[in-house]
Amino acid sequence: MKKVAILQSNYIPWKGYFDLIAAVDEFVLFDDMQYTRRDWRNRNQIKAPQGLQWLTIPVQVKGKYHQKIRETRIDGTDWAEAHWKNLLQCYRRAPCFREISDWLEPLYLECQETHLSTLNRRFIEAVCGFLEIRTVISNSWDYTLLDGKTERLAGLCADAGGAEYISGPSAKDYVDESVFHDRNIKLTWFDYTGYCEYPQLWGDFAHNVTILDLLFNCGKEAPRYMRYV
């Protein structure tokens, strides 16, 4: 029974995002959705000596509406070197910094991506490769998109051959479960609770930071602190 999840791409997402990828057979990047400001699409948090710190990719936004994530262009190239310098300053003392930086540093310093969606996918796939997550990753524009929020998700799942759709719990506010039932697709709500703390630099523990924090601190032991990897 093929399991499918559908979610917008995020920049260097937190560990729960990768657990959702690992829990399914196909993960659809839903970047046909509207780009939203001050969201996880182009930014994430790291731990710094002074507290949580945002890493934000500058993007070009045309007005307030009707710009898809996959249409969103990155504004300039200076951000990549700056982000890497911040990561270096915050994590060079981490136990597994060298192990992770061997493959992560070139992603930043050799970055030539012009669009946010393709850049996010590049980083997501690199992390999946390190964690040995074998899930197929596809794009929403590989499939037919229907009208209606729930109809679109159910249609994408059906087109991908999914018999079970695994959704993040925040979608409970708008998903019509009957649409999946009518298509004979099982709907399962993903549970992000119950994560254990891991050895982490800089003060009080924080779960909702980029997965890079976990990788720098734990390396190949990172799956011990995840649920599906």
**Which residues form the domain of 18?**
3-225
Name the pLDDT band for 138 (thresholds 50, 70, 90).
very high
Mark out the alpha helices in 168-222 (DSSP H runs): 177-182, 211-218
pLDDT for 141 beyond 90: yes
User: In angstroms, rounded to a whole number, what is the distance separating the alpha carbons of residues 120 and 42?
Assistant: 8
Q: What is the pLDDT of residues 37-75, one digit of tens each?
A: 899 999 999 999 999 999 999 999 987 668 999 999 999
Predicted TM-score (pTM) of the model is: 0.96
Q: Give the three-state DSSP class for 135.
A: coil
CA angle 219, 223, 228 (to 5 degrees): 155
Residue 80 · residue 107 · CB < 8 Å: no
3-state secondary structure 30-75: CCCCECCCCCCCCEEEEEECCEEEEEECCEECCCCCCCEHHHCEEC
CB atoms within 10 A of CB 100: 23
DSSP H helix total and E strand total for the chain: 7, 9
Name the pLDDT band for 151 (thresholds 50, 70, 90).
very high
User: In angstroms, rounded to a whole number, what is the distance separating the alpha carbons of residues 84 and 101?
Assistant: 10
110 DSSP 8-state letter: T
The domain total for the chain is: 1
Residue 115 tokens read as 């669009």
Q: What is the pLDDT of residues 201-220, one digit of tens each?
A: 999 999 999 999 999 999 99
Residue 139 · residue 28 · CB < 8 Å: yes
